[in-house]
Amino acid sequence: MDDTSIFGARPDHLDQLLRLALEPPEGEHDAPPTVSLDSLQEKPGGRIDKYKLLQILGEGGMGIVYLAQQEEPIRRQVALKVIKPGMDSKRVIARFEAEKQALALMQHPHIAGVYDAGMTLTGRPYFVMEYVKGMPITDYCDHHKCTIEERLGLFVQVCQAVQHAHQKGIIHRDIKPSNILVSLQDDKAVPKIIDFGVARAIGKSLTERTLATEDTQLLGTPEYMSPEQADMAAEDVDTRSDVYSLGVLLYVLLTGVLPFDSDTLRSGGIDHMRQVIHETDPKTPSTRLTSLGDEAAKVAGRRGTEISTLAKHLKNELEWIPLKAMRKERSERYRSASELADDIENYLKGEPLIAGPPTSLYRLKKFVRRNALLSTAILTVAVTLFLGLAATTAMYFRAERLRVKAQQASQQAQQAAEKETTARAEAERFWAQAEAASKFLVKDILGKEAFVEGPDSDPYYSLYLVTEELEGKFVHGPLAESIIREALGEKYMDVGKPELAIPHLERAYQICLHTLGPDHKRTIQSTRPLGWSYVALGRYDDALRLWNEQLEMIQKVYGEGHRLEVLFMNNIGNTYTWAGKYEEAEEILVKALEINERALGWTHFFEIGCRNLKNLVQKYLAQGHYDKAAPLLQGVVERQILRLGETHRKTQESITDLINLYEAWNKPEEAEKWRAKLPADGTTNGQSQNTSE
Amino acid sequence: MGGLRQKFLTTHWSLVEDIKKQGDKESALIGLLLERYWKPVYCYLRCKGHDNERGKDLTQGFFHEVVLGRNLIDRADASKGSFRSFLLHALNHYVTDEQRKDHACKRIPKEKLVPLDFVGAPELHEVVDQLNPEESFNYAWKADLLERTLSTVKECYIKQGMENHWNVFRERLLQPLRENQEPRPLRQMCRQYNIKDEATASHMLETVKRRFQSVLREQVRHTVLTGQVVEEELKEILKFFEKQSEI
């Protein structure tokens, strides 16, 4: 490829190249090559005012930090920060100045103090800070094999320093190990925060890869960055953002690893990074530790302990602290750095923590967020349970009222009492099932770590896990299992996986069959989704066999003309159409229609009637019998107009079907006639005009 | 099209003005106009769903019939908005017309074909695939502008025998952007190109960056009527890109 070719690069990369042309012009256009502003930059050995520059401690995009020697009034080593030549834009200088002022306000034993400030000869501002000859806090702790308690002790001091800054109105925004140096003073480890807020002024931290996009002002280090900071809504970042970063720091101090792996976090660009920070919950430190394998032993060793002791430490409430500090929702974090410090003290003293295990509500919210499919399935179960409970309870009260009434007429009393006993038994049985189902949902599903912490990628994973959980849980409450399996099965059908639905639906049916008997309405109803799942897989014969059995049962037990009979005949007719058995389809659909009109009447079962007719229409259409289909469909439309009104969505749908039919039949005049009934703008009315339906 | 894009690129009005003044449609200037715009037009058509062959035919036809044959230049009026919108409007019009006739450029005699460098037709990279036709037009225009700039910069350093300057710039800045990869460490480059130390390499990079900056500004200056609007023009280009990357 030609090495000047750029076609194919990402649009934002082209943008970056173009941006070069916008950077402030440095000198005249054709400045002689190889002479750069770098020559203006001070070199070790040189001086800035009274400070002799000894070596470069760190260098970033806009600033540079030197180790310098101060001669007067006292002789000491200091850290001197200065803006790089060419980076001294008004904006950078203004921020640099503001932060310098802020730093001067702070006086805390754990914050590196500012001694002096000034201008270089070329007019660039600099300031002089206490030089902390120390190691980053995590390195220090590992190097000295600090125990958990020692680590917590250091961390508390860091929190107090951050709190001090917050009280002065300063947010650090870049708390991370390399900005907290620990040195030994009189054999005592003393942590000091450096770079306090300076990251804001000079753009990048000097010792670690701090992410700063050129114009978008994403400042901070992704691994330690709170969700709101990653959003770059800078004005919205408050002290709780530092609390978040402190949480990450604590996490690292405890486990030796970051909550989110650096490589993964940085692999997909800023948007991916932002998404992880926003949406991925960190694993609990103990889980993260155990997932480390061999490395875990080393981590424990660096804390002067064994894996098992370390894990016990963590599990024993300690790990709740970093997790609370790192909540995505900042209102759920510690309110301040000092509250975080207090909670560490609580832990060290064995007092109750402010942080607790995630609350049920928190887990529930998280559960719903992560398991969308399963959550809707559970809602279905809950609704089924609720309706069942409502119905059986109502039955019980009705029976009791009857009994009270019947007491006045003694001959009916015996009968009423029996009825009441049956209703009570039914209600109690249902309560027991409901309890079993709720217990399963709450304890086994919601309480299960895998649902809250498992892989995010597979939306069916949670359904699969429920399936695993179900086995053997409902020996004493099988009906609850059938409800749950039915919900699962329907969920699998919703997502187009009939082959996975069938085992659940078959099991649900079998449970009802054995517990309630073949003639129970629930048993019969449970064959409906099962039959449809057969149909979805083209197993028409299985569906027909199953539904014909039910139809026979319905006719025997409930007599002719029952709603269920029409429903099942409809299903059977439809399946015949799917299977291409048009004669059988017509026979049963016409019969269903007759029963519907005769026994049920349109007023009561309007919906089923329309569906019934439409099924028949579909069957004729499949055969190309427009002459038979047209009057039937027209009949549906007319009934719908009468009952629902012309503008109802369903009526309009049927009219559209009718127009299509006439067009396919090559009867344009008829089609036009009906087209006139459709609104020009396509608006329909979802509400029935007749609310009595 | 939003206000932003309307404003985008008054580009090449200067060229058009010059062509008008000279009144010679076969002049080198019109050649330049073809050279600058055929790739964007081709990408635009590809993103509109025309396949490679059809895209080339339509591009040919458009430049042959509309740009050369129908006095597009004469009808162009700088006061009426961006040249780009004007060109795209004419292009859309032409394509609709052609679709109606559906015999595109089969009737253009071979000897009359517009000399467009289809051999170098850009392969539609997946990046372009994800853009809408107008974005791809702009993308191609921008890539072309950058490529011209880069060629000039490279040539300048090669001529002066300062190849290493170009090498450092290419490997440190250009390749990472193009290939979407991490830049090579300066130390490695120093070893490979026998450069004294990293600080020197870093100076070299800065130098080429400045040269690039000045050539790019020069290129943009050529495309607008007055030198003063270079800054504005560049800002418009960048604003446009920011908008686009949010999509």
Q: Which domain holds residue B13?
A: 3-246
**Distance (Å, rounded) from C-alpha A481 to C-alpha A500?**
17
Which chain B residues contact residue A25 at CB under 8 A? 213
Highest CATH level, class, for A135-357 = mainly alpha
* Tokens of residue A535, six digits: 């149909």
DSSP tag of B225:
S
B214 chain-A contacts, CB cut-off 8 A: 29-30
Question: A4 and B244 in contact by Cβ < 8 A?
Answer: no
**Subunit contact A6:B206, Cβ cutoff 8 A:** no
- Among residues A310, A277, A275, A274, which one has the least CA distance to residue A292? A310
| A13·B203 Cβ contact <8 A | no
More confident residue, B166 or A275: B166
Q: Which residues in chain B have their CB less than 8 angstroms from residue A29's CB? A: 214, 217-218
Whether A444 is catalytic is no
The hierarchical CATH code for the domain A44-130 is 3.30.200.20
Question: Which chain A residues contact residue B168 at CB under 8 A?
Answer: none
Of B142, B151, B204, the CB nearest to A14: B142
What is the average per-residue pLDDT within A280-295? 81
Token reading at A224 = 């330690």
Helix axes B198-223, B230-246, angle to 10 degrees: 100
Sheet hosting strand A76-83, strand order edge to edge: A47-48, A51-59, A63-70, A76-83, A125-130, A114-119
**What percent of chain A has pLDDT above 90?**
11
User: In the predicted model, is pLDDT for residue A580 greater than 70?
Assistant: yes
The alpha carbon of residue A7 is apart from the nearest alpha carbon of chain B, in Å, by: 6
Helix intervals (H) in A537-581: 540-558, 563-579
pLDDT in tens, A186-237: 888 999 998 764 444 333 332 233 333 333 344 567 888 888 888 765 556 7
Question: Residue A51 pairs with which residues in a beta bridge?
Answer: A48, A70
More confident residue, B69 or A670: A670
pLDDT level of residue A252 (50, 70, 90 thresholds): very high
Two structure tokens written together for B192: 């490979």
- Residues ≥6 apart with Cβ < 8 Å to A247: A321, A322, A323, A324, A325, A326, A333, A340
Confirm if A112 and A192 have CB atoms less than 8 A apart.
Answer: yes
Q: Which of A158, A104, A181 is nearest to A337 (CA)?
A: A158
Across residues A683-688, what is the average pLDDT? 45
Q: Measured between beta carbons, which residues in chain B are less than 8 angstroms from residue A18?
A: 142, 146, 216, 234, 237-238, 241
The pLDDT assigned to A325 comes to 93
Any residues with CB less than 8 A from the CB of A167 and at least 6 apart, and which? none
**pLDDT for A21:** 66
Amino acid, single-letter form, for residue A446:
L
A44-130 and A135-357 in the same fold? no
- d(Cα A253, Cα A296) in Å, to the nearest integer? 14
d(CA A81, CA A53): 11
- Find the helix packing angle between B133-159 and B28-47, rounded to 10°: 130
Q: Closest-CA residue in chain A for B244?
A: A11
Of A7, A30, A36, the CB nearest to B214: A30
Instruction: Spell A341-369 as b/e; 16+ CB within 10 A means b.
Output: bbbbebbeeeeebebeebeeeeeeebbee
Tokens of A684: 């329909």
A26–B203 C-beta distance less than 8 A: no
Q: How far is A202 from chain B, CA to nearest CA, in Å?
A: 20
Which chain B residues are within 8 Å of A7, Cβ to Cβ?
A: 122, 125, 140, 143-144, 147
Q: Following DSSP, what letter does each residue of A227-238 receive, concatenated?
A: HHHHTT-GGG--
Contact in structure between A41 and A50 (CB atoms under 8 Å): no
pLDDT band (50, 70, 90) for residue B60: confident
Interface contact flag, B122 A8, Cβ < 8 Å: yes
Q: Mind telling me how many Å the CA of A10 is from chain B's nearest CA? A: 6
Pairing relation of β-strands A114-119 and A135-136? Answer: unpaired
Q: Give which of A1, A7, A22, A30 to mutate to test B binding, by max B Cβ within 10 Å.
A: A7
Query: Which chain B residues contact residue A27 at CB under 8 A?
Result: 210
- Which DSSP string do the residues of A251-298 spell out, in sequence order? HHHHHSS-SS-HHHHHHTHHHHHHHHHHHPPPPPHHHHHHTTTHHHHH
Test B213 with A10 for CB contact under 8 angstroms. no
A44, A84, A92, A87: which is closest to A68 by C-alpha?
Answer: A44
Amino acid identity of A27? G
Confidence check: pLDDT of A158 > 80: yes
Instruction: Specify the range with the lowest mean pLDDT, choosing from A55-59, A493-497, B8-12.
Output: B8-12
The active-site residue out of A88, A174, A195, A343 is A174
The encoded tokens of residue A80 equal 């001197």
More reliable by pLDDT, B142 or B225: B142
| A595-648 pLDDT tens trace | 877 766 655 556 666 776 777 787 777 777 888 888 888 888 887 887 778 888
As a whole number of Å, the CA-based R_g of chain B is 20
Cα–Cα distance for residue pair A359/A377, rounded to 1 Å? 23
Q: What is the band of B29 on the pLDDT scale with cuts at 50, 70, 90?
A: low
Cα–Cα distance for residue pair A132/A179, rounded to 1 Å = 11
Number of domains in chain B: 1
pLDDT given for residue A338 in this prediction? 93
Q: Residue A455 has what pLDDT? A: 45
Q: State whether B241 and A15 contact (CB < 8 Å).
A: yes
B177 and A17: CB-CB below 8 Å? yes
Compute, in degrees rounded to 10, the torsion defined by CA atoms A251, A255, A258, A260: -90
CB-CB contact of A151 with A303 (8 Å)? yes
Which of A21, A30, A38 shows the shortest C-beta gap to B216? A21
Rounded to the nearest integer, the mean pLDDT of chain B is 70
Q: How many angstroms separate the CA atoms of A522 and A545, rounded?
A: 18
Q: Kindly determine whether residue B146 and residue A14, on different chains, have CB atoms separated by under 8 Å.
A: yes
B177–A9 C-beta distance less than 8 A: yes
For B138, nearest residue in chain A (alpha carbons) = A11
Comparing CA positions, the residue from B116, B115, B133 lying closest to residue B124 is: B133
Which helix or strand (DSSP H or E) is residue B179 part of? helix B175-179
Q: Which residues, in sequence order, are bridge partners of residue A125?
A: A119
In the predicted model, is pLDDT for residue A37 greater than 60? no
B143, B216, B220: residue with CB nearest A7 = B143
Task: Report the range of poorest mean pLDDT among A19-33, A100-114, B48-62, B223-237.
Answer: A19-33
Please indicate whether, in this complex, the C-beta atoms of A9 and B122 are within 8 angstroms of each other.
no
Q: Is A333 left (phi over 0), alpha (psi -120 to 50) or beta?
A: beta
pLDDT of residue A464: 63
Residue A470: the pLDDT is: 64
pLDDT in tens, A164-178: 988 877 788 889 998
- Rounded CA-CA distance B220/A468 in Å is 65
* Domains of chain A by residue range: 44-130, 135-357, 358-537
Among A68-82, A191-205, A537-551, which is the least confidently predicted range? A191-205
Interface test with chain A among B128, B151, B162, B210, by most A beta carbons within 10 Å? B210
Q: Which residues of B touch A37 (CB under 8 A)?
A: 206
Q: What is the mean pLDDT of chain A?
A: 75
Name the minimum distance, in Å, from the CA of A683 to any CA of chain B. 29
Looking from the CA of A158 toward its CB, the CA atoms found within 13 Å total 32
Contact assessment for residue A56 and residue A70, using Cβ atoms and an 8 Å cutoff: no
Report the pLDDT value the prediction gives residue A246, as an integer from 0 to 100. Answer: 95
